[in-house]
Chains A and B, each alone.
Chain A
Amino acid sequence: MIRSVRRYARIYGRLVAASVRSQWQYRASFALYSASQLVATLAEFGAIWALFARFGSLPGWRLPEVAVLYGISNVAFALAEAGARGFDVFPGMVRTGDFDRLLLRPLPTAFQLAAHEVQIMRVGRLVQGSAILAWGCMGLGIEWDATRVSLVGLCVVGGACIFAGLFVLQATLAFWTIESLEVVNIVTYGGNQMAQYPLTIYRPWFRLFFTVAVPLAAINTVPMAALLSRPELSGLPAPLTWLAPCVGGPFLAACLLVWKLGERRYASTGS
């Protein structure tokens, strides 16, 4: 068991390193792409800032609090995007038959796709998200201790798992159809956009969807209840609010199970 975990970790490291070395040969493109991502995300947060400047507040929320949510969601999304990129290109691999190549290697396909290509150009969103997160954390005016810091870390990791799970689900759909995958962008890119603001501002049906079906509430209002000591935000017992982001783990695992089903279907239809 331990040996195979170490082996997988080593292979993952080597494949990622290989992917980075490949991309490094296209440095100019990488720089421009990162810059464009930086511009886009800066404008996004600029809009939040501008709306706060115009309207004074978002009912019940201050700018630094929204900045923390924005930062958590964006950093998590950037990590998931970097790590699950292989799933993003997967529909194309099915079409060209390149997926067969992965099946011919003695490793799980999901693992190979995760290590397939780690896009360093996603660094723009990562840097910007981290900066906003740090800025927001400093502006919260709360006592920072080890538990609170690790809660923020947990939110980032949990969020990355949820977004990665969604990318896996989107790719899994490609076993059935490759024509209407864009719909899933509603929960991936849309989920990221949604989680940049507190969940409480949305309509009830929308809140319910992002609590139950896609548990992004677990990196949004629920942990904020613990972080800001505002239990009314979650309606859950306090200890649970501290652990809420852990939901990301089981969510990702469930998505990988669905992936397995899709893979079995592929083996019987070949398309």
Chain B
Amino acid sequence: MAQIEVRGLRKSFRVPLRSSGPFGALMDLVHRRTRTVEALKGITFEIEAGQIVGCIGPNGAGKSTAIKIIAGIMNPDGGEATVLGRTPWADRKAHVRHIGVVFGQRTQLWWDLPVIDSFALLREIYDLPRRDYDETLADVVERFHLAEVLDSPVRQLSLGLRMRCDLAAALLHRPSILFLDEPTIGLDAVSKLALREAIRDWSTERGVTVLLTTHDMDDIERLCRRVLLIADGSLLLDGAVDDLRRMSSARRTLMIDLAADVADVDLEGAELVRREGDRLWLEYDPEQVATHELIARAAAACPIRDLTVADRPIEEVVAQVYRDTP
């Protein structure tokens, strides 16, 4: 049995409509008008133990609703979910003992207290045996390089350090599943790398399942073999990162640096999408024109100093998919 099983999960919300005009507020008090928004229209997937799965989708498309339901803090209207053999929302307190959650935007640490004090409070809250706690603490401190910051108040930490501390805090009770909500938001490049490394190592070595939401496609490419794309309340894609690329189109980009200035470059089978000085970007479909063929045509058409062929950046692919969903 898979660790997380979700079948036909549905959830809709009633959003109040506000009347305008001078008596609008009064009218709303008398008669509330609402509009029903379907946040999830029946979503089904399974996640095996130890996988790192990325969950992407436009804002308000339903991914945070899905995560909230699986994390046990929201009831669905219909459908089933089994996480570690339990229905998450049926017994919240038993369920949350086995999951860890990190919100990128908000810390769960006590703002004015030293980091180690927050950890000690979490030990009490999760009722962890001393030996287990000491062992896990030693492990996270070493792995995430936290030894020096343990005695600093959380408010004095840089965002990158704070996120590592938050991650450590979410792992102290050794959860089997880790939910990460935009963990790298606002981090600098070095901090991002450090955090990703921490997540990946912990997952592989301890067999922890990770489900993360993000808007950073780098997170997905570096961490996840598998992606869930949720848009408009439906699961649009459940597959590998490459499937995502294939989804919008298989178009590729040919970037050419010209050796001499040429007024116009027109190649059959390719479309000029951008030009900056003597650098050109051309898009083409490899199904219709082979890459070597196109390069040969380019070499014949203009003097070339250098060229690169690249997949379309995944950001653009995703943006395309978001645009295409209503």
Contact = CB atoms under 8 A, between A and B. Distances in A.
A270 B65 contact: yes
Interface in B66-84: 68, 71-75
Contacts of B103: 97, 100-101
Interface residues on B, range: 20 to 34
B112 A25 contact: yes
Give the secondary structure class of B's interface: mixed
Contact of A15 (B71, B108, B121): B121
B45 interface: no
A11 B124 contact: yes
Given A25-B112, A105-B125, 14 more contacts: A11-B124, A18-B113, A21-B117, A22-B113, A96-B106, A100-B68, A101-B108, A103-B73, A105-B96, A105-B126, A107-B93, A107-B125, A270-B65, A271-B13
B13 A104 contact: no
Interface of A: 7, 10-11, 14-15, 18, 21-23, 25, 96-98, 100-101, 103-108, 267-271
Interface in B57-104: 65, 68, 71-75, 89, 92-94, 96-97, 99, 101, 103
**Which 5 pairs from chain A and chain B are nearest by CB?**
A22-B112, A103-B73, A106-B93, A106-B97, A268-B75
A101 B106 contact: yes
Contacts of B110: 18, 22
A107 B108 CA distance: 15
Contact of A267 (B13, B89, B94, B127): B89
B93 A100 contact: no
Contacts of B125: 11, 105-107
A107 B117 CA distance: 19
Nearest to A263: B92
A52 B37 CA distance: 61
Contact of A269 (B13, B101, B106): B13
Contacts of B68: 100, 270
Nearest to A96: B106
A22 B124 contact: no
Contact of B106 (A15, A23, A98): A98
A21 B113 contact: yes
Contacts of A25: 112, 153
Contact of A104 (B14, B65, B101, B117): B101
Contacts of A106: 93-94, 96-97, 125-127
B76 to A, nearest CB: 9
Contacts of A18: 110, 113, 117, 121
A48 to B, nearest CB: 38
B96 A100 contact: no
B280 to A, nearest CB: 46
Given A101-B108, A104-B96, A107-B93, A267 B124 contact: no
Interface in B181-224: none
Contact of B124 (A14, A101, A268, A271): A14
Contact of A100 (B73, B99, B111, B112): B73
Contact of A270 (B74, B127, B153): B74
A92 to B, nearest CB: 13
